[in-house]
Amino acid sequence: MDWLVNLIYYVVPFVVLLGILVFVHELGHYLVAKFSGVQVEAFSIGFGKELWGFVDKSGTRWKISAIPLGGYCQFLGDGDETSTTSEAKALTEEQKKKAFAYQSPFKKLLISLAGPAANYVFAVLIFASIFYFIGKIEFPPVVGEVVKGGAAEQAGILPKDRILSVNGKKVDSFTDVRREVELNTEEKVRVELERGGKVIKLAFPLQYIEIENDAALDKTETRRPMLGIRSVNVVEVQKLDLNVFQALRDAGIEVWNITDMTLRGVGQMIVGERGSEEIGGVIRIAEMSGDITRQQGILNLLVFMALLSVNLGLINLFPIPLLDGGHVVIYLIEIATRREINEKVKDGLFKVGFALLISLMVFATWNDVVRLFNRWFA
């Protein structure tokens, strides 16, 4: 029966969660395409063999496919699901008016941006709904994850430890912990934490990394102390009486902060200040969604969905061919030069992008497998 329990707690929430986010993303593409006069031939959640579907009045085939790891909108004239090959030359003149390949670069740009934008709007709506109906989310000073090789791991800090004070200063949120750590001037940082009802006092040196700042275009590097912990899917609610506009405003700020934090993390990986073992894939998402389902509640799952929605939108904006961001770069170049990029050049770029994405997926999956192995057998 263990396999059935794991199926319910890990596979089902993952499939539902990813399906919702993919639907939102592709719905953004679909709505802007329809508004722009482009015919959408197929709207699919998943890839591969169709499991279920129907055709609406406009001729769009809505379907659920066998491999639940993404989705796509296939436009009139597309030769495949990724819209990287074209059969538009075989269309009639009337059909070409509704084919994606024959639209202006500006329309193509809007359609490409609509998917990531939909993910961002969805995340804002989730946070705003939580803020308005339930209360303001706070990230308490509870250790969600310990960075491998970091100062906290070496000191013996464990996930689920609740930090009570840093250098004698009481902390009420994860932001307080970060602030007190950055203000630390002593040789060792003093941390008081609670674990299993017991109070533990630790004193240990911090690790410092170089963080690049860009103030008034004067790039400088600052050594920043790091405790080596993260707040992962641990949330508490502070009841506040917010109106709709305040909830939307605070939700927008929350989404911006998540984006900023994610970009900083990616930048630190690129320059080698943060380990690439932190890159995770679909197995990691399934693991985290399952853990939340088993150990926490619907609120934490909604917050996790919003976080994933922001990350899905942001990653798709990266200027990598095959991703929306790669298409955006191409259309911006075409708008600026007022000429279409050669099809052979585009084809070459898409092949490079495909190879890069496959490499990243393999690397992320390897990290996920190693993480699971360590979790089960370490």
Active-site annotation, residues: 26
Mapping DSSP onto H, E and C, the string for the chain reads CHHHHHHHHHHHHHHHHHHHHHHHHHHHHHHHHHHCCCCEEEEEEEEEEEEEEEECCCCCEEEEEEEEEEEEEEECCECCCCCCCECHHHCCHHHHCCCHHHCCHHHHHHHHHHHHHHHHHHHHHHHHHHHHHCCEEECCCECCEECCCCHHHHHCCCCCCEEEEECCEECCCHHHHHHHHHCCCCCCEEEEEEECCEEEEEEECCEEEEEEEEECCEEEEEEEEECCEECCCCCEEECCCCCHHHHHHHHHHHHHHHHHHHHHHHHHHHCCCCCHHHCCCHHHHHHHHHHHHHHCCHHHHHHHHHHHHHHHHHHHCCCCCCCHHHHHHHHHHHHHHCCCCCHHHHHHHHHHHHHHHHHHHHHHHHHHHHHHHHHHHC
